[in-house]
């Protein structure tokens, strides 16, 4: 589904229904805005008058006082008023129009490289001029280059503004001034768009200003306001808007949860014999955290409403067995289960694990990936459709058209954050319209802080596996410059000779990255040449699925000692005997990616090591990232840094496209507002349900489809 199409649908859906808040008035309702200008405004995300009002200034200029020329310093933004002493064309390196302006305190040069004959004539000696611009140091004293200016015959009476001047983000085809005029015009009349939707008791306890006041203030801040505060985004008027916007998103998710609960789900209440048998057969005990999460998930399945639970747990915390236990619960109750993984490699691995676990229990496990031949695919589809397959493990190929289940009761999605929004939407829709909607359990290694989860995962439940299996020895991480590659390669070789296995990761294979990254293929060729005694394998995303499988199988069995890989092995791959990983060009990878990659080692009883090789010079951010990786193995800690560096928008971005479109709020800046949002959201839902819909419509538009993800 095209993202833009959805958005337009949203905007168009609004007008008819939205009379009460006027959220539907389109910009064309304003005199002076026709279709052409509307198109230009649309590029700024402005479709309705509400959008226009929430198009807040990116910064402000102080044009409220006139500066004396004699006091100006380079870097000042200033309004000056003076008389033109000279205006002439200078033929230096570049032809320019030079105009000297003086007041009683000093002289300043105005320089323009582009000018018309009219402009030159207008700037006649003896006339008065009011300029606004940034003062620079020039060859012969201070200068203003291409300032905004107005010329007067006589000394002007009132050359300044009463409030700070707003500077907006604009786009080609609409000037700063025009945009400002349209906003001012909208604000000057009745503004149904800005009807107050926060109930008085909420306003009273939060001490937020009323909406209309807040919006007016931000477009026209009084001169005595703290500009620093405004620029920082910490003015109460800004908090008020950000709060309301975040609240609207939160409410839309809570409504989704309520809507989901209107559907029927299979209420599963088996004895649990299969699950218990499986757990008993494992050659380890579940950790307490795993047991707790299995219980939480199963409690969901007993309900008559479709559940949606996110299981978060650091890499290596053992999410797969939790998923398997959950699957067995559903199967014993007579339902089919689908397990979806983001890569073929991981799907294959899960397919193998589930087969090894479930076939001894007399169950049928089917795989469905893109690489299946036509016949195998047909058979897999048939087994799903006639109900003979108990579990189907696959990639998103699982959810293409033509895939039907006989009795799907549970959908498990591994590494949920890796799936695109569209894929997850398609997944949700699988159940919609059917008699029963399957339960859904998603898993991720990217944790989000609790307060953020309460706000932005309000439609789902979250469980944490906050404990690693016992006996895990933390991976020792070393950061080294590329110059040490030969020495490290030697170490890898001797480790392999001692019976250990290693990954050598070359982050690449995308042609566009070729310049910097080392081609895995080339690396493998070199290694094979230099170490004829070692068994070296190669795996990358361009290989056929079956070839990838073969390589992974050989690595798993120990036949391959050193596996040269791209980041295809990033998620999920589980080969406990591998205890050494080298990542080249580590400076180019993000924290969560590095953490995921490193999570491939440290899974067995041996002490593991990870070497992060980097190319100098290192930028500050890259150096910080590598230092964090060296200093901690804790996924929560790493996620915290990741949130801090990349911002929650990017970290959460794949979950909710809506958050990428925030008009006013900034997830990183406004985190202090989170804790109150859940509570006040509850007040609105309970006591002012009529305002909930209006808030959602004001901030998100008519549709909340995106939230189904």
Which positions lie near ligand ADP, rule CB under 6 A? 284, 286-287, 290, 313, 315-321, 445, 469, 574, 576, 603
399 CB-near residues (< 8 Å, 6+ apart): 340, 423, 426, 427, 430
Contact indicator for 409, 330 with CB cutoff of 8 Å: yes
Instruction: List strand residue ranges (DSSP E) for 92-156, in order.
Output: 95-102, 107-112, 128-138, 141-145, 148-152
The encoded tokens of residue 571 equal: 């998620």
Which C-beta is closer to ligand ADP: that of 165 or that of 317? Answer: 317
Which residue, 342 or 572, is less far from Mg ion as judged by CB? 572
- What, of Mg ion, ligand ADP, none, does residue 45 touch, CB below 5 to 8 Å by kind? none
Task: Choose the stretch contacting Mg ion; rule: CB under 5 A; options: 65-73, 84-92, 571-579, 674-682.
Answer: 571-579
Question: Residue 426, SS3?
Answer: helix
| Contact flag: residue 394 with Mg ion (CB under 5 A) | no
Query: Which residue in the block uniquely carries the two structure tokens 């993000």?
Result: 590
CB of residue 283 to ligand ADP, shortest distance in Å: 8
The item of ligand ADP, Mg ion, none sharing an interface with residue 692, based on CB under 5 to 8 Å by kind, is none
Least distance (Å) between residue 429 CB and Mg ion = 25
Q: At what angle are helices 635-646 and 620-631 packed, to 10 degrees?
A: 170
Q: How far is the CB of 339 from Mg ion (least distance, A)?
A: 11
The DSSP letter of residue 92 is S
- Residue 41 and residue 27: Cα distance in Å, rounded? 8
User: Which of Mg ion, ligand ADP, none does residue 603 bind (CB under 5 to 8 Å by kind)?
Assistant: ligand ADP
Query: Which one, 464 or 561, has the nearer CB to ligand ADP?
Result: 464
Least distance in angstroms from the C-beta of 391 to ligand ADP: 16
Report the candidate in 82, 233, 207, 234 with the shortest Cα–Cα distance to residue 147. Answer: 82
Which C-beta is closer to ligand ADP: that of 24 or that of 602?
A: 602
Using the rule CB under 5 A, give the single segment among 4-12, 171-179, 565-573, 578-586 that binds Mg ion. Answer: 565-573
- At its nearest, how many Å lie between ligand ADP and the CB of residue 284? 4
Nearer Cβ to Mg ion, position 311 or 536? 311
Residue with tokens 């560096």: 645
User: Which of these ranges, 131-139, 323-331, 430-438, 566-574, lies near Mg ion under the rule CB under 5 A?
Assistant: 566-574
95 phi/psi in degrees, rounded to 5: -70, 130
Measuring CA to CA, which residue among 241, 189, 220, 195 is closest to residue 31? Answer: 189
Both tokens assigned to 174: 């609409």
Gap between the Cα atoms of 399 and 386, Å rounded: 17
Least distance in angstroms from the C-beta of 319 to Mg ion = 5
291/554 with CB nearer ligand ADP? 291
Shortest CB 700 distance to Mg ion, Å: 33
Residue 574 binding result from ligand ADP, Mg ion, none, given CB thresholds of 5 to 8 Å by partner type: ligand ADP
Q: What is each CA distance from 458 to 70, 445, 576, 675, 707, in whole angstroms?
A: 59, 19, 36, 13, 10
Q: Which of residues 214-273 bind Mg ion (CB under 5 A)?
A: none
Shortest distance, CB of residue 331 to Mg ion, whole angstroms?
20
Nearer to Mg ion, 572 or 701 (CB): 572
The string over 77-108, giving b where at least 16 C-beta atoms fall within 10 Å of a residue's C-beta and e elsewhere, is: ebbbbbbbeebeeeeeeeebbbbbbbbeebbb
Nearer to ligand ADP, 578 or 586 (CB): 578
62 contacts 217 by C-beta, under 8 angstroms: no
Cβ neighbour number for residue 235 with a 10 Å cutoff: 21
Q: Judged by CB, which is closer to ligand ADP: 143, or 314?
A: 314
Contact partner at residue 321 from Mg ion, ligand ADP, none, CB < 5 to 8 Å by partner kind: ligand ADP
Find out whether 427 and 340 touch, Cβ atoms under 8 Å.
Answer: yes
Give which of Mg ion, ligand ADP, none residue 596 binds (C-beta under 5 to 8 Å, depending on kind). Answer: none
Q: Which is nearer to ligand ADP, 578 or 643 (CB)?
A: 578
**Smallest distance from the beta carbon of 413 to Mg ion, in angstroms?**
11
Among 159, 221, 572, 702, binds Mg ion (CB under 5 A): 572
DSSP string, 6-32: HHHHHHHHHHHH-GGGTTT-BGGGSTT
Q: Which ranges of 370-484 would DSSP assign to H, the alpha helix?
A: 374-385, 421-431, 450-456
Q: Which is nearer to Mg ion, 266 or 342 (CB)?
A: 342
CA distance 146 to 695: 44
Nearer to ligand ADP, 270 or 313 (CB): 313
Least Cβ distance, residue 600 to ligand ADP (angstroms): 9
- Minimum CB separation of residue 690 from Mg ion in Å reads 44
Nearest position to ligand ADP, beta carbon: 318
Q: Residue 438 binds which one of ligand ADP, Mg ion, none, with CB within 5 to 8 A depending on kind? A: none
666 binds, among Mg ion, ligand ADP, none (CB under 5 to 8 A by kind): none
Return residues touching Mg ion (CB under 5 A). Answer: 572
């Amino acid at each position: 589904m095209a993202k833009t199409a959805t958005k337009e649908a949203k905007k168009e859906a609004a007008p008819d229904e939205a009379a009460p808040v006027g959220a539907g008035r389109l910009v064309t309702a304003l005199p002076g805005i026709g279709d052409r200008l509307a198109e230009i405004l649309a590029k700024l995300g402005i479709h309705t008058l509400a959008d226009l009002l929430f198009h807040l200034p990116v910064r402000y200029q102080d044009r409220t006082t006139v500066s004396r020329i004699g006091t100006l310093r380079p870097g000042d933004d200033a309004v000056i008023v003076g008389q033109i002493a000279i205006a002439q064309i200078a033929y230096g390196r570049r032809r320019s129009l030079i105009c000297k302006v003086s007041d009683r305190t000093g002289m300043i040069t105005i320089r323009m490289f582009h000018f018309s004959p009219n402009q030159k004539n207008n700037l006649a000696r003896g006339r008065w001029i009011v300029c606004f611009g940034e003062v620079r140091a020039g060859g012969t004293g201070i200068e203003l280059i291409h300032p905004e200016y107005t010329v007067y015959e006589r000394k002007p009476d009132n050359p300044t503004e009463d409030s700070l001047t707003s500077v907006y983000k604009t786009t080609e085809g609409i000037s700063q001034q025009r945009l400002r005029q349209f906003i001012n015009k909208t604000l000057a009349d009745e503004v149904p768009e800005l009807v107050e939707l926060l109930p008085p008791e909420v306003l009273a306890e939060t001490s937020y200003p009323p909406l209309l006041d807040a919006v007016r203030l931000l477009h026209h801040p009084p001169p005595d306001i703290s500009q620093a505060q405004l620029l920082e985004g910490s003015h109460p008027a800004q908090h008020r808007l950000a709060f309301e916007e975040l609240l609207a998103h939160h409410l839309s998710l809570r409504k989704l949860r309520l809507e989901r609960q209107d559907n029927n789900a299979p209420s599963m209440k088996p004895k649990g014999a299969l699950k218990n048998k499986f757990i008993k057969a494992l050659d380890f005990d579940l950790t307490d955290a795993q047991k707790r999460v299995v219980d939480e998930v199963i409690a969901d399945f007993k309900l008559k409403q479709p559940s949606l639970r996110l299981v978060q747990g650091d890499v290596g915390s053992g999410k797969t067995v939790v998923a398997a236990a959950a699957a067995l619960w559903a199967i014993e109750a007579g339902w089919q289960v689908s397990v979806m993984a983001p890569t073929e490699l991981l799907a294959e691995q899960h397919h193998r694990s589930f087969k090894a676990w479930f076939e001894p229990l007399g169950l049928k496990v089917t795989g469905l990936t893109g690489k299946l031949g036509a016949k195998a695919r047909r058979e897999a589809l048939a087994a799903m459709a006639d109900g003979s397959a108990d579990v189907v493990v696959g990639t998103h190929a699982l959810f293409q058209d033509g895939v039907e289940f006989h009795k799907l009761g549970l959908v498990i999605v591994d590494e949920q954050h890796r799936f695109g929004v569209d894929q997850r939407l398609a997944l949700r829709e699988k159940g919609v319209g059917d008699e029963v909607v399957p339960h859904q359990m998603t898993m991720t290694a990217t944790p989000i802080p609790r307060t953020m989860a309460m706000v932005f995962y309000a439609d789902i439940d979250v469980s944490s596996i906050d404990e690693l299996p016992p006996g895990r020895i933390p991976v020792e991480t070393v950061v080294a410059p590329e110059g040490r590659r030969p020495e490290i390669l030697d170490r890898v070789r001797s480790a392999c000779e001692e019976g250990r296995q290693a990954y050598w990761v070359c982050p690449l294979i995308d042609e566009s990255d070729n310049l910097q990254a080392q081609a895995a293929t080339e690396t493998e060729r070199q290694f094979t040449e230099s170490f004829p005694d070692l068994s070296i394998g190669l795996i990358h995303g361009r290989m056929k699925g079956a070839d990838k499988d073969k390589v992974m199988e050989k690595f798993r069995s120990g036949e391959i000692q050193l596996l040269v890989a791209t980041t295809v092995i990033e998620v999920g791959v589980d080969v406990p005997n591998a205890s050494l990983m080298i990542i080249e060009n580590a400076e180019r990878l993000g924290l969560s990616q590095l953490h995921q990659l490193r999570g491939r080692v440290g899974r067995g009883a041996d002490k593991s090591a990870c070497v992060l090789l980097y190319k100098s010079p290192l930028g500050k951010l890259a150096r910080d990232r590598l230092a964090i990786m060296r200093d901690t193995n804790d996924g929560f800690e790493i996620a915290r840094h990741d949130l801090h560096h990349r911002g929650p928008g990017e970290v959460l971005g794949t979950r909710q496209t809506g958050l990428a479109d925030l008009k006013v709020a900034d997830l990183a800046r406004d985190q202090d507002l989170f804790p109150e949002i859940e509570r006040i959201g509850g007040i609105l839902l309970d006591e002012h349900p009529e305002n909930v819909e209006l808030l959602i419509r004001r901030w998100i538009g008519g549709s909340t489809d995106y939230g189904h993800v």
